[in-house]
Chain A
Amino acid sequence: MSAGSTDSLQKSRKRRNLKKNLIAYSFIAPNFIGFAVFTLVPITFAFMLAFLEWDGNNPVKFVGLENFKALVKDKFFIASLKNTIIYSIGTVPLTLATSLALAVILNQQIKGRAFFRTLGFFPYVASLVAVTSVWTMVFHSSKGPVNAILYYVFKVPKEKLPNWFTGSLALVMLILFSVWRFMGYYMVMFLAGLQTIPRELYEAGTIDGANTWQRFRYITLPGLKPTTFLVSVMLTINCFKIYDIAVMLAGGSTNTLSVSSMVLVYYIYQNAFNFWKLGYSSAVAMVLFVLVLTVTLIQFKGQSRYANE
């Protein structure tokens, strides 16, 4: 073969490759351009902003780690971090337990399974504004039916009736509401996990004389380990991001949270859009990022472990 023909062969291959790449890029471009501009660019910007002082109008000032140093001394930040973590610690196990229980029950031969499953989704797909306003009505401190029952049936004196959405009770209500809203969703993940446990295991267990509890303890629970792990990770990350639930339940008519119910995303929002302390707000956002990143890294580690099993 002469040198010239190899050359043209190479050229035509190059051209074909170029065409192939261009076609592929034309597929990706519509989504990737939007994704890059509206997601990747702001993410990069967020990291820089945390080291700056800026109110959005005046010149930007580089302050190094000052924002983070101020965070440590800020009692509102400490409160919001603490509340977010307490909320997560309360919500995750309770949601796990209820959604697992529902899944195990609905996995049996039961009439109306589909009906109950559909019902479980209603709290999840319903708009938050609508369902939270029902909750604030039902638990209204002076007029709500819950306190009416406490008053008429349990004879709790009027002045001792609880104010459900203030003080330390607020966090409890946020947790209860979240369990109510999320359990149907995670139940479906558990139901899917249950289908992966071989039926023969249960049959063998029954022959060996294991009772219902023992079968649950020694067959179902170990079989659900990967699902439980994944659900915990997803739930924890979702809990860290709480904002609307807190504002709508405990924010009152002015949408403001007090120290007892303040959460991280609320503090990010407040610093940025009420105080215009953009750098400081971004520093709080970095704390949220580190929290979520830690949980994600744990997930990657755990996933590779379960993949090997």
Chain B
Amino acid sequence: MKSIRAMKTLKKSILYLILIIMAAIMILPFLWMLSSSVKLDREVFNMNPFVWIPKKPRWQNYADIWTKVPFFKFVQNTVFLTIVVTCLQILTSSFAAYAFAKLDFKYKNKLFFAYIATIAMPWQVYMVPQFLMMRSFGLNDRLLAIICLQAFSAFGVFLMRQFYLSIPDSLCEAARIDGMTEYGIYAKIMLPLSKPAIATLTIFTFVSTWNDYLGPLIYLKSQEKKTIQLGLKMFINQYSSEYGLIMAGSVMSLIPVIVVFLSLQKYFVEGIASTGIKG
């Protein structure tokens, strides 16, 4: 009996050991980031001895990023893009998903097929013709281009439709008999019920728009149009020796994402999990 218990404790300890090592691998780069963000450049790579928290933390780095590059402008652009794209995405895709899930109409399957058919089509395949088209619309170097690019994804329509399908039709029928219009049913019944799906879509759209790099890289050329990601990259290229500043900028860029992520984490996990089961 004793040996079985000993075995169990040993097994548990091994599990914890693996977990702690994994956790360290996950978290160490972030600790390094935090630590370097309050260091002088010559302190960053000082290995002998290496200190996590310098004796005199250099908070000045966090002030400098706003003055050395127009970081505030980058933040403004990114916040604007992220909010507009997320709102448009949720509004238009929940609207369309309602029709696909709860209404009968001509060409319904054909239209939905158009959405499905684009799953196997990575954006990278058509990003060049898309750019040429946008350029001919005069959208080159305009924030509007990024909005057009991100706001109408097939993914959002799918996700919302999947959720609406799980809401019983009888609910809509009853409302129709009571004389409610379809718009009323959408706004007063479906939308309030679909909070979890909206939260999932919000966090996915928020994170991907906030962190997007290739889209802004193609479209946003002038300094005052750039996003945080492009700005950070600019930092790296321009001040490739000023690691403290780069890390301070990185920490700033992470804060909003971490806040949104921590507050909506549950829905993020459910969103990934549901793609795993339903496929």
Name A residues whose Cβ lies closer than 8 Å to a Cβ of B.
20-21, 23-25, 27-28, 30-32, 34-43, 45-46, 49, 56, 101-102, 105-106, 108, 110, 116-123, 125-131, 133-135, 137-138, 140, 143-145, 148, 152, 180, 184-185, 188-193, 196, 212, 226-227, 230-231, 237, 240-241, 243-244, 248, 253-255, 265, 268-269, 272-273, 278, 281-282, 285-286, 288-289, 292-293, 296-297, 303
Per DSSP, are chain B's interface residues mostly helix, strand or loop, or mixed? helix
Please name all residues of chain A whose beta carbon is closer than 8 Å to the beta carbon of B129 when the two chains form the complex: 42-43, 45-46, 49, 282
Q: Point out the residue from B15, B47, B111, B211 that lies within 8 Å of A110, measured CB to CB.
A: B15
Known: A31-B96, A130-B253, A140-B45. A296 touches B120 (CB 8 A): yes
Q: Point out the residue from B100, B149, B211, B247 that lies within 8 Å of A133, measured CB to CB.
A: B247
Q: How far does the Cβ of A20 sit from chain B's closest Cβ, in whole Å?
A: 6
Interface centre among A27, A37, A254 (most CB of B within 10 A): A27
Known: A30-B96, A126-B254. A188 touches B276 (CB 8 A): yes
Name B residues whose Cβ lies closer than 8 Å to a Cβ of A.
11, 15-16, 18-19, 22-23, 25-27, 29-30, 32-33, 36, 44-45, 47-48, 50, 91-93, 95-96, 98-100, 103-106, 108, 111, 114-115, 118-122, 124-133, 148-149, 151-154, 156-157, 182, 186, 207, 210-211, 213-214, 218, 228-229, 232-233, 236-237, 240, 243, 246-247, 249-251, 253-254, 257-258, 261-262, 265, 268-269, 272-277, 279
Q: How far is the CA of A240 from the CA of B122 in the complex (A)?
A: 9
5 pairs of residues in contact across A and B, judged by CB atoms under 8 Å: A39-B118, A138-B32, A180-B26, A230-B276, A273-B128
B186 touches A27 (CB 8 A): yes
Q: How far does the Cβ of A224 sit from chain B's closest Cβ, in whole Å?
A: 10
A244 touches B273 (CB 8 A): no
Q: How far is the CA of A132 from the CA of B229 in the complex (A)?
A: 12
A126 touches B240 (CB 8 A): no
Q: Given A24-B104, A130-B253, A253-B236, list of 6 further CB < 8 A pairs?
A: A31-B152, A34-B92, A34-B152, A38-B148, A129-B253, A130-B232
A125 touches B233 (CB 8 A): no
Please name all residues of chain A whose beta carbon is closer than 8 Å to the beta carbon of B247 when the two chains form the complex: 133-134
Please name all residues of chain B whose beta carbon is closer than 8 Å to the beta carbon of A123 when the two chains form the complex: 26, 29
Q: How far does the Cβ of A131 sit from chain B's closest Cβ, in whole Å?
A: 6
B130 touches A192 (CB 8 A): no
Q: How far is the CA of A185 from the CA of B92 in the complex (A)?
A: 27
B250 touches A134 (CB 8 A): yes
Q: How far is the CA of A196 from the CA of B273 in the complex (A)?
A: 11
Known: A24-B105, A34-B148, A192-B276. A134 touches B125 (CB 8 A): no
Please name all residues of chain B whose beta carbon is closer than 8 Å to the beta carbon of A137 when the two chains form the complex: 32, 36, 44-45, 243
Closest residue on chain B to residue A131 by CB atoms:
B29
B103 touches A273 (CB 8 A): no
Please name all residues of chain A whose beta carbon is closer than 8 Å to the beta carbon of B210 when the two chains form the complex: 127
A130 touches B182 (CB 8 A): no
Known: A46-B128, A133-B232. A32 touches B96 (CB 8 A): yes
B279 touches A130 (CB 8 A): no
Q: How far is the CA of A120 from the CA of B130 in the complex (A)?
A: 35
Closest residue on chain B to residue A185 by CB atoms:
B272
Q: How far is the CA of A188 from the CA of B265 in the complex (A)?
A: 12
A46 touches B126 (CB 8 A): yes
Q: How far is the CA of A278 from the CA of B129 in the complex (A)?
A: 8
A27 touches B250 (CB 8 A): no
Q: How far is the CA of A116 from the CA of B30 in the complex (A)?
A: 15
Q: How far does the Cβ of A291 sit from chain B's closest Cβ, in whole Å?
A: 9
A27 touches B25 (CB 8 A): no
A125 touches B261 (CB 8 A): yes
